[in-house]
Amino acid sequence: MVNAAEAYRRQQVLNAPPEQLTLMLYNGCLKFIEEGTQTLKEKNYESANNSLQKAQRIISEFRLTLNMDYEISHQLLPLYNYVYDRLVEGNIRSDTSQLDEAKGIITELRDAWVEAMKKARAEKGDGKGGNGYA
């Protein structure tokens, strides 16, 4: 049986616009990197591996869904590849410095995404300015 919190999260995903889903994925990736880093420090390697594999799957999804018709996609792909490699290496070598590097890049991309959402909302004139997304 699905608990209430899980049902609520599923509803959020099902009803979210694409730009909000992207933000959710960035935030989820950061959450899993943080979990993986913490559990590595605790020497709980199985839990760390599970969390870091979830982060890797999110990055893989970003790579697979890039629309290469846009120049920005050609700039994002190498970044996503680099982050993915840092996650794999950090996981294999139990090296939190590589995970910290991946987290920093994803944080910057997430923050840039939030700013782009705010700008798009302001240009649409809906007055929200992206508040509540960060």
- Please measure the distance between the N-terminal and C-terminal CA atoms of the chain and give it in whole angstroms: 31
Distance CA 127, CA 51 (A): 37
Q: Which tens digit of pLDDT belongs to each residue from 56-79?
A: 999 999 999 999 999 999 999 999
Cα dihedral 92→90→78→24 (10° resolution): 110
Tally the C-alpha atoms within 13 A of residue 77's C-alpha that lie toward its C-beta. Answer: 11
pLDDT at 49: 98
pLDDT at 12: 73
Distance CA 129, CA 123 (A): 9
**Ranges of the chain whose pLDDT falls below 50:** 129-134
Query: pTM, whole model, 2 decimals?
Result: 0.84
DSSP characters for 95-120? Answer: -HHHHHHHHHHHHHHHHHHHHHHHHH
pLDDT at 127: 53
Give the chain's domains with CATH numbers. Answer: 18-124 (1.20.120.340)
